[in-house]
């Protein structure tokens, strides 16, 4: 079968991306020296001290600064994080830039706005390290009312339902806290650089036969002075659903 390309330039994943972590050279199940934590960042100076101070031992933060105009980069460096500047705007651009810089066998992703507790990262990382799952997602469980706006919940639920119909996955959430093997993620050749990046990762992993599961993680109030760049507003939710819907349509 020849290569198939969509209007956005994305090659049909069932043609080119039949790869599982166990087939990647250097795959070492159960072996982990350090775990890189990729933190897409845009003006998170208020939240970074709390986030970085709670990073568990053995977890190395990589802050992908996507054009911050505050002191995010300086603060991240002061707390010992690797900081990279990502001039191309977009959540996917920042996340993927962090993935390209990472060197650990297993990598994880997490928002930098204080809505997730880094001390819970082992919940998504350990099952991957134990080779019981290939991609582990953190299912958000709000710790108090109002943490997860109704419009954001609705958008997430619709996308999870559509993903289930398209890929046969039974997921409740497409949460940003997640973990997988770095080389396997790179082999998926993710292309989206906007809000569709998290969904594209799940879609292509599913079509490649990965074992995908979710586990509960706390969803906390964001640090005062910060806001979600993805679903913190109705407009942000609409943009996210639009970008992710495009990924589903092209998969």
**63-77, 107-121, 122-136, 228-242: which range is least confident on average?**
228-242
Assess whether pLDDT exceeds 80 at residue 104.
Answer: yes
Using a 10 angstrom Cβ sphere, with 0-12 exposed, 13-18 middle and 19 or more buried, the burial of residue 229 is buried
Per-residue pLDDT tens digits for 128-179 = 999 999 999 999 999 998 888 887 888 888 888 888 888 889 899 999 999 9
Tokens found for residue 99: 């993935």
146 φ/ψ sector (left φ>0, alpha ψ -120 to 50, else beta): left
pLDDT of residue 165: 83
| Residue 128 φ/ψ, nearest 5 degrees | -70, -45
Contact yes or no for 199/159 (Cβ under 8 A): yes
CA pair distance 41, 66, nearest whole angstrom: 6
Question: Shortest CA distance to 219 belongs to which of 126, 129, 132, 123?
Answer: 123
3-state secondary structure of 19: coil
CA pair distance 65, 84, nearest whole angstrom: 6
Per-residue pLDDT tens digits for 1-31 = 333 333 333 333 332 334 667 665 555 555 5
pLDDT of residue 157: 85
Contact yes or no for 194/89 (Cβ under 8 A): no
CA pair distance 42, 167, nearest whole angstrom: 32
pLDDT of residue 233: 59
Q: Which residues pair with 59 in a beta bridge?
A: 35
Which domains are assigned to the chain? 33-250 (3.90.550.10)
């Amino acid at each position: 079968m020849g290569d198939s390309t969509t209007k956005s330039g994305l090659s049909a994943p069932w043609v080119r991306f039949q790869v599982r972590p166990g087939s990647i050279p250097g795959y070492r199940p159960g072996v982990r020296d350090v775990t890189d934590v990729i933190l897409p960042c845009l003006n998170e100076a208020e939240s970074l001290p709390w986030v970085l101070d709670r990073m568990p031992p053995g977890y190395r933060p990589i802050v992908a600064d996507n054009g911050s105009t505050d002191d995010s980069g300086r603060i991240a460096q002061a707390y010992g994080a690797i900081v990279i500047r990502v001039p191309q705007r977009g959540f996917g651009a920042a996340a993927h830039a962090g993935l390209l810089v990472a060197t650990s066998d297993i990598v994880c992703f997490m928002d930098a706005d204080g809505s997730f507790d880094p001390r819970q990262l082992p919940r998504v990382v350990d099952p991957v390290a134990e080779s019981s799952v290939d991609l582990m997602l953190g299912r958000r469980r709000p710790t108090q009312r109002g943490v997860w706006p109704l419009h954001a919940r609705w958008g997430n639920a619709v996308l999870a339902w559509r993903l289930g119909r398209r890929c046969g996955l039974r997921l409740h959430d497409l949460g940003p806290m997640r973990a997988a093997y770095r080389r396997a993620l790179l082999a998926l050749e993710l292309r989206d650089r906007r809000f569709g990046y998290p969904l594209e990762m799940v879609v292509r992993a599913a079509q490649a036969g990965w074992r995908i599961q979710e586990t509960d993680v706390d969803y906390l109030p964001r640090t005062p002075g910060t806001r979600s760049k993805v679903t913190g507003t109705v407009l942000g939710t609409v943009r996210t659903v639009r970008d992710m819907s495009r990924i589903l349509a092209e998969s």
